[in-house]
Amino acid sequence: MGLLENISTPKDLDRLSESEMHQLAQEIRSFLVQHVAQTGGHLGPNLGVVELTLGIHRVFDSPHDSIIFDTGHQSYVHKILTGRHNFETLRQKGGLAGYPDRAESEHDIVESSHASSSLSWADGISRAHQYNGEDDRYTVAVIGDGALTGGMAWEAVNNIAADRQRKVVIVVNDNGRSYAPTVGGFANHMAELQQELQNRLDQVRLDRRYDKTLDVMRQKLQKSGPVGEMVYRGLHGMKAGLKDIVVPNGLFEDLGMKYVGPIDGHDQDAVETALTAAKNFGGPVIVHAITEKGRGYAPARAHEDDQFHAVGIIDPETGQPLASKGGQSWTGVFSSEIKNIADEREDIVGITGAMLIPVGLKPMQQAYPNRVIDVGIAEQHAIAMSAGLAFGGLHPVIALYATFLNRGFDQLLMDVALHGAGVTIVLDRSGVTGPDGPSHHGMWDLALLQFIPGLHLAAPRDAATLREELREAVAINDAPTVIRYPKGDVGDDISAIHRMDDGVDVLRQSGDSDSSSGQLDVLLVAVGAMVPLALSVSESLEQQGVSSTVIDPRWIMPVPGSVVSAARDHRIVVVLEDGVKAGGVGSRIRQEMRSQGVDTALNEVGLPSEFIPHASRSEIFDEVGLTTEKITGDIMAQLSGEMVPYARGKGIKPKHAR
C-alpha cells in the first residue's frame, strides 16, 4: 500500500517521517500525471507546488488557519491532502472543480480564479481575525504563476505591511512563469535575487565543511528519536538562515515585511523550516520559494512553451495528446489574420496579459517582437496603456480571455471610450467555456459593454466573418472596437443569402408572409456563435408550418437599423446570445425598437444571471435551455397563445383572422 491512500486530512501528515514525506511527494506527482492525463486540467502548476503544499499543511492548521491559492489552479495538491481523491471526475459536470470550491470542502476559501486577488483576501481575513481577537489564527496566501505581476497584489501588500502584528504569511511560488515566462520589473528583481543568492552562497560554502558536519550530526541526532529530530531541524534552520543573512532583500523590508528566502521549493526540509520561521515571527512575512513548473514529469519540463500549464487528454507516459485536435480554432483564425494585418500596417501593436500563446499573439510576436507587449497579469494597465498608444498614433489590439475583461472595465469606459481612442479588444473564450467553471465563463461581456458610449461590438459567426470584422475593427480609429468569439473549433463558414446596406447578413428565410399583414412569423437574431442554433430552430419551425428569418447583425453595437426594420416585418423577435440575458443584446435591441415605435414582441434567449458551474458547453446549453427543441417549443407555445394554425400550412394567422 502507498502512503497517499491513507491521507484524508492534513493532520494525517503529522505522523510521517522525513523519508515518508519524500515518498508521498512522489506518489502525489504520479497521481496527478495519471489522473489529469485522463481528464485534462492544470498539470504543470500543480506538479510544481507539491512540497510547498505539503509544507503548508504540516506547519499550519487548515481550516483553523486560512489558506488561499492564487491562482486557484494551483490547488490540486491541496484538494488531495484535504480528502478529495476523486480526480476521475475532475472538471466534469457534477465532479471535482478545477479550482477551490467551498461546496467541496471547508478548506477552500476563494473560488474566483482571477489572479492577484489573494493578498487582498489575506488582508481582509487577517483583519477580521484581529478584530475578533483570534490571535491564534494565521492567514496563508500562496501566490504564483505570475500573479504578483498584477497591480492589485501590490495594493494589498501596501496595506498588509502597514500592520506589523497581523499573522499573514505570503508564500511566493516563484517558478518564473505565468502561462509562459513571467515578464516585467518585479520578475527581473526576483531573478536577480535568486542569482545573487547563489553567487554569495557559493562564496560562503566553498569547502562544504559546514554541510559535512551537519550531515554527521544529523545521523547521530536522528537515532535519538523525536527530540533529536527537533534539534536537527534547528541546525538545519541555522543553515537555511545563511540565506536570510546574505540575500539582498531590501525591497521587501522597505515595504515593512520580513523576507525569508529564496528557498528551494522542492526541498521539503527547507520549506518547512522557512514556513515555521515565518509562523513564529508573528507578523507579516514573505517566503520566497523557487520551484519548477512541471517538476518530476519529463514531458512537461521538455515543453518549453508552457511546461504543460494546462493540458487536454494526454498519454501519461509520453505527454502526447490523445484527443483529436479537430479543425481550426477561433484563436488560430485570429492569430493568422492579426499577423497578416500587422504585415500590412506598421501601426498595429499587439498587447497581451501573460497569455501570449493562448490568445494567439505568438506568431505576430515572433515576426515583430517590438510590436507585441506582454504586460503580465495586468488587464487594467493593458487597457489604460492602450489609450496612450492610440494617442501616440498607434492602433493597439488587446487580446484577452473574455472573463478577464471584467477587470479592465473602468479603464475601457474612462480611459479608452471617454477619449475616443482607436483601440481594438479581442475577447477569446467568450460565452460558455465549459470545464473551468463560473470564474472563467466569458458570459458577462455582452451585458457589460452595452452602455459604453461610442463602442462598436462585433460577434463573428465563422472564420470568414472573424477575418472580415477584425479588419473592419482596426479601421476604426476614433472609438473602441470589440470582437468576441468562443472557445473551440470554428466550424465551417456559413454563407449569407444577402447582405443589407448596413452590413447585416440574412442567412435563411422560410415560409410565406401573411397575405393581409405582409409579416413573417419569427425573426431570429443570432449573435455570433449562436448562428448554427438559430438556423436549426428555423428549420424546426418550418417543419411545423411557421415562417421565419435568420439574421446575423455581425456588428451588434450600435444596433443596425435593418435589425429594427426586420423586427417590424415579423410577429415575434427572438434574440439568441451566449451571454447573460439581463442587459444583454436582446435588451438593447428591444430599447432600439421601442425608440422607433416598433412594438413587436421580443424574447431574449441566453444565459441566466447565475454563476454556472463547470460542465461541457453542450451540457450547459442543455441545462439552461439553449437547444433547438426548447427554443422551438417556447416559440410554438407563445404563438399558440395568440394564434391558430393556418389551414394551408403556410404559417400562422392571428386568432381573430377569418
Q: What fold characterizes domain 4-302?
A: Rossmann fold (3.40.50)
- Residue 637's pLDDT is what? 93
Q: Are 39 and 91 in contact (CB under 8 A)?
A: yes
Cβ–Cβ contacts within 10 Å for residue 558, how many? Answer: 13
- Residue 240's pLDDT is what? 42
Q: Which distant-in-sequence residues (6+ apart) come within 8 Å of 108 by Cβ?
A: 75, 100, 101, 102
Q: Are 184 and 149 in contact (CB under 8 A)?
A: yes
**386 φ/ψ sector (left φ>0, alpha ψ -120 to 50, else beta):** alpha
Residues that constitute the known binding site = 73, 113-115, 145-147, 175, 297, 379
DSSP codes, 576-606 = EEEEESTTSHHHHHHHHHHHTT---EEEEEE
Would 4-302 and 330-484 be classified into the same CATH topology? yes
Angle separating helix axes 268-281 and 50-59, nearest 10 degrees: 40
- Residue 327's pLDDT is what? 83
> Within 13 A of 243's CA, how many CA atoms are on the CB side?
23
- Residue 238's pLDDT is what? 40
DSSP-assigned letter for residue 612:
P
Structural class in CATH, domain 330-484: alpha beta
Residue 420 grid coordinates = 475616443
* Average pLDDT, consecutive stretches of 10 residues, N- to C-terminus, the chain (658 residues): 88 92 93 88 87 95 94 90 91 87 92 82 91 93 80 83 87 69 53 54 44 54 51 45 41 71 88 91 88 79 68 76 80 97 97 91 96 91 95 97 92 96 97 88 94 96 98 98 95 95 95 75 96 97 95 96 95 95 94 94 94 91 94 93 42 34
Residues that constitute the known binding site for Mg(2+) = 145, 175
- Residue 657's pLDDT is what? 35
**What are the extents of the domains in the chain?**
4-302, 330-484, 509-654
Element of type H or E holding 263: strand 258-264
- Residue 115's pLDDT is what? 80
- Residue 189's pLDDT is what? 55
Residues that constitute the known binding site for thiamine diphosphate = 73, 113-115, 146-147, 175, 297, 379
- Residue 253's pLDDT is what? 66
SS3 content of the chain, % helix, strand, coil (to 5): 45, 15, 40
Q: Which distant-in-sequence residues (6+ apart) come within 8 Å of 281 by Cβ?
A: 258
Q: Does domain 509-654 have CATH number 3.10.20.600?
A: no
DSSP codes, 88-148 = GGTTSTTS--SS--TTT-TT-------TT-HHHHHHHHHHHHHHTT-TT--EEEEEETTGG
- Residue 99's pLDDT is what? 84
Cβ–Cβ contacts within 10 Å for residue 469, how many? Answer: 24
- Residue 597's pLDDT is what? 94
DSSP-based three-state secondary structure for 202: helix
